[in-house]
Structure 1
Amino acid sequence: MQQPQQHEETPEGTPRVLVVDDDPTVAEVVAGYLDRAGYVVDRAGDGPAALTRAAAHWPDLVVLDLMLPGMDGLEVCRRLRGHGPVPVVMLTARGDEDDRILGLEVGADDYVTKPFSPRELVLRVESVLRRSRPAAPGHRLGAAGLTVDPAARRATKNGTELALTLREFDLLSFFLRHPGRAFGREDLMREVWGWDFGDLSTVTVHVRRLRGKVEDDPARPRLIQTVWGVGYRFDPTGAEAGS
């Protein structure tokens, strides 16, 4: 894959969405709904074509089918993320929970199960893009060697920049804003994802991924602690306890 170019100018800064699906009917329907919602839409029918399109015009978001011929959606997601940050909404078959979790593990920001409502997909796209925009200038957050700059969407641990996905960044920011408080997975889904419903395993996977990047020993987390029967709590004193 070539180095991605800068975002091509679109009318009034309209976000560009790349739709990757080998089913032309699904791709056409999805692209049609996104186009009517005001997005500039590119399409690709397989993994190599998706990487080529992304290199030519780097998208603001990718709608990516998990089950693609040859190079599957997981590999496409990995390769895209290797060339630059980009939000990904993955399309998965209903009932394939392991595949959905794999998608989240490689960095998908959201997923929609087939068959799906195109209107629901557009709402998910809008939600992910809204949260990916830089925040208004404000105070940096910091505790236990972790710092977050919401406006720059940059996070560091002991001065070293962390490679966080969109949702991992939002989750860490939320924890830093609410140290010492326990939150259930439903609370985190509502406050971080902006959803009142959904698969709670999404939260579980993202907490596990975030622990892998901020904990000294992810197998024995001290910062993001499990509160049995409740959910999770960010404890900035945990790092001191482990030192």
Structure 2
Amino acid sequence: MSSVSTQIIEGNPHLRSLLGWHLQQLGYGVFQSANLTQGQSAFQRLQPDLIILDADLSDGSGLEFCRWLRRQSPVMVLILSTRVTEADIVAGLKAGADDYLPKPFGMQEFLARADALTRRIRNPIPPAYLDYGDLKVDLVQRRVKLKDETIDLTPQEFSLLYVLAQASGLPLSRLELLQRAWPDAIDNPRTVDTHILSLRKKLEVDPRQPNLIQTVRNVGYRFNAEASRKAALAKGTPGAVVSNLRPTAAASS
């Protein structure tokens, strides 16, 4: 039995119901949307693990919606489409789809592809790159860029930043940071304060009023990813909404 939450965004009501029924028989949690407007609203409310996405919906481009999804979440996306050329498939994958299934297709192939994506959800590949707008962290090369400028961090500063970032905004105590970010056992919590101060000097606009690495009173420190993202948006980075996904018939080809 699968516990994967699945959203089907498919314009054909018969196909939508059929796909949903077969997935439910395998234990998937399924909810359905008939178009992109419904799909965006349901996605924001329910945050599914897997999306089955029709590329040719009546109210917009499925590929543009896929690009929008990629800016919101690491959700798995399986695109279904009547467009079957190699160029179409490549375009779908470049838009951010994890898999692309041309119509018509057999139900067993569909279920096998859904199962393959489900296994990837259960056993995710660790990320190699973190993007927080102005702040970008390369986990392979252990490099940090702020506003496209490389920031020179020591190995210990990088490890501390990585542990804070991986906590997804949750505050971590000094003891937790010592246990997770330091390679050797250290029992002096003030060591954390020293390195936090050094990080702030390198990453914050005003280290005396830190916005990215925040102090949580009586707890420790937290990484405020939204600070970097909001700074990028304030400079005019566009955000996609369904109302902008309405190409003409010619543009949607």
TM-score by length of 2: 0.50
Q: In 2, Cα distance between the equivalents of 1:30 and 1:115?
A: 13
Deviating beyond 4 angstroms after TM superposition, the runs of 4 or more aligned structure 1 residues are none
Alignment partner for residue 32 of structure 2, among 37, 40, 43? 43
Q: Give 1:160 shift.
A: 4.7
The percentage of aligned residue pairs carrying the same residue is 31
Are 2:2 and 2:28, in contact at CA under 8 Å, matched by a contact in 1? no
Task: Give the whole-Å Cα distance in 2 for the aligned partners of 1:66 and 1:34.
Answer: 20
Q: Which residue of 2 aligns with 1:159?
A: 142
Q: Which runs of 5+ in 1 are unaligned?
A: 1-11, 136-149, 162-243
After TM superposition, the structure 1 = structure 2 runs for residues 1-243 of structure 1, keeping only pairs within 5 Å, are: 14-93=3-82, 95-134=84-123, 150=125, 153-155=126-128, 156-160=139-143
Cα deviation digits, residues 186-228 of structure 1 (max 9, x gap): xxxxxxxxxxxxxxxxxxxxxxxxxxxxxxxxxxxxxxxxxxx
Structure 2: which 5+ runs fail to align? 129-138, 145-253
Kept in 2: contact 1:94–1:115 (CA 8 A): no
1:67·1:73 contact (CA, 8 Å) conserved in 2? yes
The residue identity in structure 2 corresponding to 1:121 is F
Superposed CA deviations along residues 165-204 of structure 1, whole A, max 9, x for unmatched, are xxxxxxxxxxxxxxxxxxxxxxxxxxxxxxxxxxxxxxxx
CA deviation after TM superposition for structure 1 residue 99, in Å: 1.9
Shift of 1:114: 0.8
Q: Summarize the Cα distance change of 1:160–1:93 in structure 2 as closer, same or farther, 3 Å threshold.
A: farther
Count the aligned residue pairs: 135
1:48 CA displacement = 1.6
User: Structure 1 length normalisation: TM-score?
Assistant: 0.52
SS at match of 1:154: coil
2:25, 2:54 → 1: CA distance?
Answer: 21
Q: RMSD in angstroms over aligned alpha carbons?
A: 2.1
Cα distance in 2, alignment partners of residues 17 and 80 from structure 1: 14
Q: Which amino acid aligns with 2:26?
A: A
